[in-house]
Structure 1
Amino acid sequence: MAVPFISEVKRTHTCGQLTATNVGEEVVLFGWVHNRRDHGGAVFIDLRDRDGLTQVVFEPDHAEAHGLAGSLRLEFCIGVRGKVVSRGKNVNPKMKTGEIEIKATDLTIFNRSEPTPFPIEDSIDTSEEKRLAHRYLDLRRAPLQKSLMTRSKMHSLTRAYMVDHGFLDLETPFMGKYTPGGARNFLVPSRMNAGKFYALAESPQLYKQLFMVAGFDRYFQIVKCFRDEDLRVDRQPEFTQIDVEMSFVSQDDIFTIIEGLIKKLWGEVLGIDVPTPFARMDFYESMAKYGNDKPDLRFGLEHTVLTDLIREHGDAGGVPMMFEAVQNKGIVKAMVVPAEKAMSRAESDKLEEFAKQAGAKGLARAKVAEGGEWTQSPLSKTITPALRAAINQAVGAKTGDLILFQFGKESLVHTVMANLRVHVAKKLGLIPEYGSGGQWKFLWVVNPPLFEHDEDSNTWVAAHHAFTRPHDEDVPFLLSDPGRVKCHRYDVVLNGFEIGGGSIRLHDPKVQAEVFKALGIGEEEAQTKFGFLLDALKFGAPPHGGIALGMDRLAFLLTGAESLRDVIPFPKTKTGTDLMTGAPGDVDDKQLRELHVRPVPPPQK
């Protein structure tokens, strides 16, 4: 007679739960056949669920179960009832349940499985494309299950922490009005409003500010956001962030809350006590030393800006290309690869190839010999002894060190040198290819510029968004010298990744009007683009500010994953497609007519 599994016989334990303390108990387990071994009489399987593995043995004395076990194959979904027995001297230390096994008395097959397109194992060589096409199978693998269970725990811890600190978990719309600035939006055509479109929110920014105007004081949300941007290792078209906004606060108040949350996550998930408060670094210092505003502080290899030094020595210094770059309002930077991490001539040649891939025209370099002389460099033929000595002193170069130079347009030099710094660090084994390497270097990058200059249009644009509060002492320069205006914006950085960013908001209508003028936005245009928020700010809006932390990136870093896709259940590929479902897909003409949309074919190449 068949045992009524599920309807009457319920699961008693998971497959990672049983230990020697359970010996003698009758248990019921459900799961998937992870492997199978037929020893000529007894049939052994490892039964798997999200919690682990348990060995089950089917012996001839229970004929019905033993007979059915003979038909078991990998990934069959089954239920088992039996008694827990000790494995004696045959303990498997690699399994949490390695001290015991189940002597099965009853077996049912819930569902059979065809041979899977790749093995359900921890480490496999299968291409990512095939795994993403069968993501539901890929997610059976223990590493991915562990990552998603970690992520689930992060969500739970975050909600508990925020509620404990007086925050309300409030929702905002996914579909709203398109507002310019920031990332490109996904657009959703409106069937009921012909020719009009919703924009999928790239963040709840405007709505959460309205919550502050409404008096809710402390808001948070773990929310899905959307950006129609080119993808990379740490970016997806839809992503999740921990969104926070607070009223009546300073920048320091926000830092304290966020540092406490991160401390809780790292403590509860990894058992690591993260020191607080985090270090802080001025934006301009970060750019000068590291070439970007998200520096990886797990290693040195800091940059040295030589622009003033080259200017002082002028054309007589013997490096005309560097001097010409300075005259053209560019910069000169150097980085030292220490002698104890010596690179061969062939290895240093490959660095130039890397620099060119990052956009550079080349990579000047010099090996420091005895007495400070330079070798392996065309610069050594023309540079004056005075300038060479000055550069050696400025960068702290010693005998055997390799100096790498980059000069030209400021933004390009920063980008090339930032990428080169990380590339060299990985080559020298200073940091692993991915993962933390056991180091967690948190940092706040503060006081960035409010505006950036757009060379194409020769206008000033908001570096973050138009509602960021400038430093009080810089307000007089909003119209006369926008480039010198710093603001209360901040990013929290970990190991070279920006894991969150935010700002203190503008709530003063007069200053807001001046910011719009600096951006070339008139009153009418401002009302058209941001009218509903500007109107709200007129009605006693409190001082407020906030931040958004990237949940995907936090999970990516906490789990040491190789790719952001490993911590997202159903991710998109680098081209924004879902290989499993085939999204984005075609729709028929009837649907398009209902939406008042006509597709335009891409241009012929």
Structure 2
Amino acid sequence: MRLSGWVHNRRNLGGLLFVDLRDHYGLVQLLARPESPMFEPLARVSKETVIRVDGTVLARSPENVNPELATGEVEVEVTDLEVLGTCPELPFPVFPEDATSEDRRLTYRFLDLRRERMHNNVVLRSRVIAAIRRRMTELGFNEFQTPILTSSSPEGARDFLVPSRLHPGEFFALPQAPQQFKQMLMIAGFDRYFQIAPCFRDEDSRADRSPGEFYQLDVEMSFVEQDEVFEVIERLMTDLFHEFAPERETTSPFPRIAYRDALTWYGTDKPDLRAPLRMADVSELFAKTDFKAFAGKRVRAVAVPGIADRPRSFYDSIGDYAVEMGAQGLAWLKVDESRQFSGPIAKFVGDIAEELLAETGGEAGSGLFFCASDTDEQINRIMAPVRVELSRRAEQFEENAFRFCWIVDFPMYELSDEGEIEFSHNPFSMPQGGEEALDNQDPLDILAWQYDIVCNGVELSSGAIRNHQPEIMYKAFAIAGYSREEVEARFGGMLRALQYGAPPHGGIAPGVDRIIMLLADQPNLRETIAFPLNQNAQDLMMGAPAPVSQRQLSDVHIRVVPPSDQRKRS
């Protein structure tokens, strides 16, 4: 037998030399005996050297079978050896997978990808994308490619700009999303489109956001309403997560939660429903009490069943966690079997006891936690993570599940910091109630046909039923302060297309990177992307971004102007 691969590990046991040989498909154990001419050459070969061996396949004795290895019942006694690629001292070990700084891992990503975990993540990515394509085709969708070089978008994140050589002073932009193109496809008569679409946004890194570029499952459908989009995506996600994580529960249909309810119950529009606890707004109840610490404050409460017998230290530890999240403190109460309160603020709540239990869903044996702050936004920043941590520490958190939900009924408009009406989510969405709502409702009461899909506290995507009627679009933008001329200047191409017989349509674009991050159970997106940028939007392996020559700049009519502080230093 002839085998080729990388030297993964080497062991000299009782005079017998064992070498683990690794390739894309796994490991096989090589064997050399002391009397073999292959013993010394094989013993000198360093880890991660690429070798080719010829040898004889031997069955392992029953006590030496390795059930953790696909080839664990056999080994290969080496009869010939050739070194195909030498390897110097490694900057970090491939095996064992010792902790290494992320920047070093990304600088030597080709080595990092040899590690079993990273190798498996990238293979998983390939398999998931192939499954998405297969399932979308089975659902009647066609895959179309949209342009990478396009026009700059006046909305959203910063564009990556590409200067034009043939048109001096003018620029292409890399697409933040294929939004306008996929709507054009619907107007052109292609009723079910999808694409594994590359998107480019010049924005800061987060654990669930990769700077520079990312991929999304871009979907658009004609002649649909919200329910039909949900039906397709629920079927896709349920089947996909069952296929790649069968040991973790995924159920459908996904619950639908109104945006305002999500903020009240969970403190976020990206709730982790593995934590079953809900918050309640009890501001009005505490306004009836003499508890001065909550006077004039917004107050949220969480009732946790079955923890009244926990020691004081449990309650104090939750308070400490809340302080880490930015709280001044966290008040708490216990409810005994006779529904009597005890705890630091028990003397203040006697008059509202039953109302408090009714409002929070508390019961005998519960513990109640309270947070007060000047604004709902401040409380939400604190209590959203506290709610999840409470569920974990109370042992009421579903570790082995994927819990999806839809966030629906987003407000069409909100007030800016200056008190002006502006779009709150997606300006191209259809308002619920259509033109009549725009004409007759308070703008802050108008809801939009917009929705997010969330899984385990991770927003996978936003989507919407589109505003396909130009006159409604003009009115929607007018409420946000845009003149007709300004709308035409910014979105003329889309408006022109909508005037030529546009069908009702809607869509969504779940993030492929985020889906794989969940399936691989990884802490951030970079662990599931073969060659990501680091958190500073740099490619450390290839050395990008980097200066280019003056000739290259001249070709595209560009002159680099250093930042003002750099000019001063020079």
So what's the TM-score if we normalise by structure 2? 0.90
SS of the residue aligned with 1:529? helix
CA contact (8 A) 2:94 2:112 kept: yes
Q: Write out per-residue CA displacement over residues 432-474 of structure 1, whole angstroms, 9 at most, x where no aligned residue.
A: xxxx8311212122222122221x2322222222110111278
Shift of 1:373: 6.6
SS of the residue aligned with 2:203? coil
Residue identity matched to 2:266? Y
1:69 matched to 2:42? The reply is yes
SS of the residue aligned with 1:461? strand
Residue identity matched to 2:405? L
Residue identity matched to 2:301? A
1:450 matched to 2:412? The reply is yes
Gap change, CA 1:421 and 1:197, over 3 Å in 2: farther
For 2:5, the equivalent position in structure 1 comes to 31
Alpha-carbon distance in structure 2 between the residues aligned to 1:210 and 1:576 = 32
1:332 matched to 2:294? The reply is no
1:121 matched to 2:95? The reply is yes
Q: Aligned residues, how many? A: 561
1:595 matched to 2:566? The reply is no
CA contact (8 A) 1:208 1:219 kept: yes
1:385 matched to 2:360? The reply is no
- Using the TM superposition, name which of 297-306 and 331-340 deviates more: 331-340
Gap change, CA 1:115 and 1:475, over 3 Å in 2: farther
Percent of counterpart pairs with the same letter? Answer: 36
Alpha-carbon distance in structure 2 between the residues aligned to 1:474 and 1:386 = 48
CA contact (8 A) 1:189 1:597 kept: no
Shift of 1:536: 0.6
Residue identity matched to 2:518? L
1:255 to 215, 230, 236: 230
Where structure 1 has 5 or more consecutive residues not aligned to the other structure, the ranges are: 1-26, 326-330
Shift of 1:346: 5.9
For 1:394, the equivalent position in structure 2 comes to 359
Alpha-carbon distance in structure 2 between the residues aligned to 1:145 and 1:195 = 44
CA contact (8 A) 2:308 2:365 kept: no
Gap change, CA 1:388 and 1:589, over 3 Å in 2: farther
For 2:378, the equivalent position in structure 1 comes to 412
Gap change, CA 1:528 and 1:320, over 3 Å in 2: farther
Q: How does 1:154-303 map to 2 (within 5 A)?
A: 154-237=128-211, 238-271=213-246, 274-303=250-279
1:438 matched to 2:400? The reply is yes
Gap change, CA 1:57 and 1:341, over 3 Å in 2: farther
For 2:478, the equivalent position in structure 1 comes to 517
Gap change, CA 1:469 and 1:426, over 3 Å in 2: same
Shift of 1:389: 4.7
CA contact (8 A) 2:309 2:365 kept: no
Residue identity matched to 1:333? R
Shift of 1:106: 2.4
Alpha-carbon distance in structure 1 between the residues aligned to 2:102 and 2:84 = 29
CA contact (8 A) 1:363 1:404 kept: no
Shift of 1:321: 5.5
SS of the residue aligned with 2:401? coil
For 2:424, the equivalent position in structure 1 comes to 463
CA contact (8 A) 1:236 1:572 kept: yes
Residue identity matched to 1:73? S
CA contact (8 A) 1:470 1:486 kept: yes
Gap change, CA 1:280 and 1:474, over 3 Å in 2: farther
For 1:149, the equivalent position in structure 2 comes to 123
Alpha-carbon distance in structure 1 between the residues aligned to 2:388 and 2:553 = 47
SS of the residue aligned with 1:443? strand
CA contact (8 A) 1:475 1:485 kept: no
Alpha-carbon distance in structure 2 between the residues aligned to 1:224 and 1:133 = 23
For 1:24, the equivalent position in structure 2 comes to none
Gap change, CA 1:345 and 1:598, over 3 Å in 2: farther
1:496 matched to 2:449? The reply is no
SS of the residue aligned with 1:448? coil
Gap change, CA 1:384 and 1:350, over 3 Å in 2: closer
Residue identity matched to 2:113? L
Q: Write out per-residue CA displacement over residues 302-327 of structure 1, whole angstroms, 9 at most, x where no aligned residue.
A: 1011134345x3xxx213564523xx
For 2:508, the equivalent position in structure 1 comes to 547
Q: Write out per-residue CA displacement over residues 319-344 of structure 1, whole angstroms, 9 at most, x where no aligned residue.
A: 3564523xxxxx43112345528776
Shift of 1:298: 1.2
Alpha-carbon distance in structure 2 between the residues aligned to 1:347 and 1:577 = 44
CA contact (8 A) 1:202 1:225 kept: yes
Alpha-carbon distance in structure 1 between the residues aligned to 2:393 and 2:95 = 30
CA contact (8 A) 2:250 2:401 kept: no
2:544 to 556, 561, 583: 583
CA contact (8 A) 1:333 1:413 kept: yes
Gap change, CA 1:579 and 1:244, over 3 Å in 2: same
Q: Write out per-residue CA displacement over residues 85-132 of structure 1, whole angstroms, 9 at most, x where no aligned residue.
A: 100221122212111011222221111111212211364222223222
Gap change, CA 1:306 and 1:263, over 3 Å in 2: same
Gap change, CA 1:401 and 1:274, over 3 Å in 2: closer
Alpha-carbon distance in structure 1 between the residues aligned to 2:499 and 2:277 = 49
Shift of 1:585: 3.0
Gap change, CA 1:406 and 1:187, over 3 Å in 2: farther
Residue identity matched to 1:415? R
Shift of 1:60: 6.2
1:135 matched to 2:113? The reply is no
Residue identity matched to 1:390? E
Gap change, CA 1:277 and 1:390, over 3 Å in 2: closer
Shift of 1:139: 0.7
CA contact (8 A) 2:435 2:472 kept: no
Alpha-carbon distance in structure 2 between the residues aligned to 1:207 and 1:490 = 20
Alpha-carbon distance in structure 2 between the residues aligned to 1:574 and 1:562 = 14
- Using the TM superposition, name which of 41-50 and 511-520 deviates more: 41-50
Gap change, CA 1:400 and 1:484, over 3 Å in 2: closer
2:70 to 96, 115, 121: 96
SS of the residue aligned with 1:260? helix
Alpha-carbon distance in structure 2 between the residues aligned to 1:580 and 1:288 = 45
Residue identity matched to 2:528? V
Gap change, CA 1:191 and 1:323, over 3 Å in 2: farther
Where structure 2 has 5 or more consecutive residues not aligned to the other structure, the ranges are: none
1:365 matched to 2:365? The reply is no
Gap change, CA 1:487 and 1:132, over 3 Å in 2: same
Alpha-carbon distance in structure 1 between the residues aligned to 2:435 and 2:279 = 28
Shift of 1:374: 5.9
1:535 matched to 2:496? The reply is yes
Gap change, CA 1:120 and 1:54, over 3 Å in 2: same
For 2:291, the equivalent position in structure 1 comes to 319
Shift of 1:157: 0.7
Alpha-carbon distance in structure 1 between the residues aligned to 2:353 and 2:267 = 23
For 1:22, the equivalent position in structure 2 comes to none
Q: Write out per-residue CA displacement over residues 49-101 of structure 1, whole angstroms, 9 at most, x where no aligned residue.
A: 122110011346763x4453233121111112222210022112221211101
Residue identity matched to 1:250? E
Alpha-carbon distance in structure 2 between the residues aligned to 1:303 and 1:562 = 26
Gap change, CA 1:81 and 1:420, over 3 Å in 2: same
SS of the residue aligned with 2:44? coil
- Using the TM superposition, name which of 437-446 and 465-474 deviates more: 465-474
Alpha-carbon distance in structure 1 between the residues aligned to 2:541 and 2:382 = 37
So what's the TM-score if we normalise by structure 1? 0.85
